[in-house]
Homo-oligomer: A and B are copies of this chain.
């Protein structure tokens, strides 16, 4: 088994079980524990997992819904304010998860009357605060990492929906690589959403603009609107403007 292959396998196992033991992997793959350790160290360096004594844990495993601290909260609130204006009464809205989307949920006008489809537990809980919003939760396997449902069933359901607008909480966006992710399953869900919605809106803090991760969701033309906390005429965004994106 090649090194790359092995590392992909390890990563897959970590994301699947949220934890792996060096000893187990060594037996499964039939290489020495030292090799496994080196692999884990490398993957940890790349930020793909967290190495601990005895093995490794998946990235998101240690943070719980309860005490999660939101990074760059003010920026995200600002983005949410702008994005909320895109939603009209009666619309069918599709959303992913993530802290920016949570802020969007909180920024919605209380009397808004719309139907929200989501794969995110935490977003669904926020939407529940709004009396006139109908929520459809898209079910499937729950990814502990991303706190959203992922898998073939979910993708199929998303494809059945013809949504007016779709909001993507974004990890990385770049003019040449488009929208990118670091989790295969999450990418699949986002991809399904992009194809199912009339209008695709990416929400992202300035810090994540012009960064890329490993797996592409869609290229820059798959997105129609980009919402950041920056002013629309900012230098940073000119490349996106040229490509025809609406900037808010």
Q: How far is the CB of A193 from chain B (nearest CB, A)?
A: 15
Question: What is the CA–CA distance of A52 and B236 in the complex, to the nearest angstrom?
Answer: 52
The answer to whether A17 has its CB under 8 Å from any CB of chain B is yes
Q: Which residues of B contact A61 (CB under 8 A)?
A: 8, 131
The answer to whether A162 has its CB under 8 Å from any CB of chain B is no
The answer to whether A226 has its CB under 8 Å from any CB of chain B is no
Copies of this protein, total: 2
Q: Which residues of B contact A140 (CB under 8 A)?
A: 136-137, 139
Among A1-41, those with CB < 8 Å from B are 2-5, 8, 12, 15-19, 21
Q: Which residues of B contact A131 (CB under 8 A)?
A: 17-19, 61, 144
Contact of A4 among B12, B57, B135, B157 (CB under 8 A): B57
Q: Do the beta carbons of B149 and A137 come within 8 Å of each other?
A: yes
Band of interface residues on A: 35 or more
Q: Which residues of B contact A57 (CB under 8 A)?
A: 2, 4-5
Among A105-120, those with CB < 8 Å from B are none
Known contacts A128-B144, A132-B17, A53 near B137 by CB under 8 Å? no
Contact of A128 among B17, B52, B139, B142 (CB under 8 A): B142
Among A61-76, those with CB < 8 Å from B are 61-67
Contact of A2 among B19, B66, B154 (CB under 8 A): B19
The chain B residue sitting closest to A117, CB to CB, is: B139
Contact of A125 among B21, B54, B121 (CB under 8 A): B121
The answer to whether A147 has its CB under 8 Å from any CB of chain B is yes
Q: Which residues of B contact A5 (CB under 8 A)?
A: 19, 52, 57
Q: Do the beta carbons of B135 and A65 come within 8 Å of each other?
A: no
Known contacts A61-B131, A67-B62, A2 near B55 by CB under 8 Å? yes
Residues of chain A touching chain B, judged by Cβ–Cβ distance below 8 Å, are 2-5, 8, 12, 15-19, 21, 50, 52-55, 57, 61-67, 121-122, 124-125, 127-129, 131-132, 134-142, 144, 147, 149, 154, 157
